[in-house]
Amino acid sequence: MTTGNSALIDIIRAEIQKRGPRSFAWFMEQALYHPEHGYYSSGRCAIGRHGDYFTNVSVGPLFGQLLAAQFAEIWERLGKTDNFVIVEQGAHHGDFVRDVLESVRKRWPDFFAALRYRIIEPFPVLKDRQSLTLAEFGDRIEWRASIDALAPFTGVHFSNELLDSMPVHLIVSGETKPGSTAWR
């Protein structure tokens, strides 16, 4: 019995038949980020109370408001630079960005005037959704397809939940001879 995306399962099986065993990290990368069928890259990811899981962002604006205060403090400690950048990776639909920018606009207008937000988003389907969520902020938002496309900046590089969604390698401990342990 199989569950899940049958097209992706077929792709994974074909790759294993062609090349032999693959690492867990490779499998996880396909499951999450395959260009057509990956959980995140395809746009089918369901986050929120009625989705597959929920995060601080999906339960309301408080998380964004709290971090907006931290970002404002960093801006102040850096001398209130007139070009402060927040870079976010893993912005999903842009709700956190919206919560931060709404809070900053309301509570710190000088900071809002200095603030630019850059989103690292390699997946067009998510960039399109973010564009809709963030339309009211116009040219204050910029997108980059990869971190390599970022120029040096003064500000904060932020991510929420992204590390949870990165392909990982499995590490196994085993006894190589009585009384000794090896990792592989």
What pLDDT digit, counting tens, does each position of 123-140 carry?
888 899 999 999 999 999
Helices (H), the chain: 6-19, 24-33, 62-77, 95-107, 109-114, 124-133
pLDDT band at 2 (very low <50, low <70, confident <90, very high): low
pLDDT of residue 14: 93
Relative orientation angle of helices 95-107 and 62-77, to the nearest 10 degrees: 60
170 vs 66, residue with greater confidence? 66
pLDDT of residue 41: 77
What pLDDT, on a 0 to 100 scale, did the predictor assign at position 106?
A: 98
pLDDT of residue 96: 96
Q: What is the tens place of the pLDDT at every residue in 15-43? A: 999 999 998 888 888 888 888 888 777 77
Question: pLDDT per residue over 141-159, tens digit each?
Answer: 999 999 999 999 999 999 9
Residue type, 92: H
Mean pLDDT across the stretch 38-52? 74
Element at 119 (helix H, strand E): strand 115-120
Both structure tokens of 152: 């040096």
Portions of the chain given CATH number 3.40.50.150: 57-161
pLDDT for the residue numbered 53: 64
CATH of 57-161, one of 3.30.300.10, 3.40.190.10, 3.30.300.20, 3.40.50.150: 3.40.50.150
What integer pLDDT is reported at residue 1 of this predicted model?
42
Give the percent of the chain with pLDDT over 90.
55
Tokens for 22, please give them: 């693959």
Q: What does the pLDDT look like over 81-119, one tens digit per residue?
A: 999 999 999 888 899 999 999 999 999 999 999 999 999
- Please tell me the predicted confidence (pLDDT) of residue 29: 86
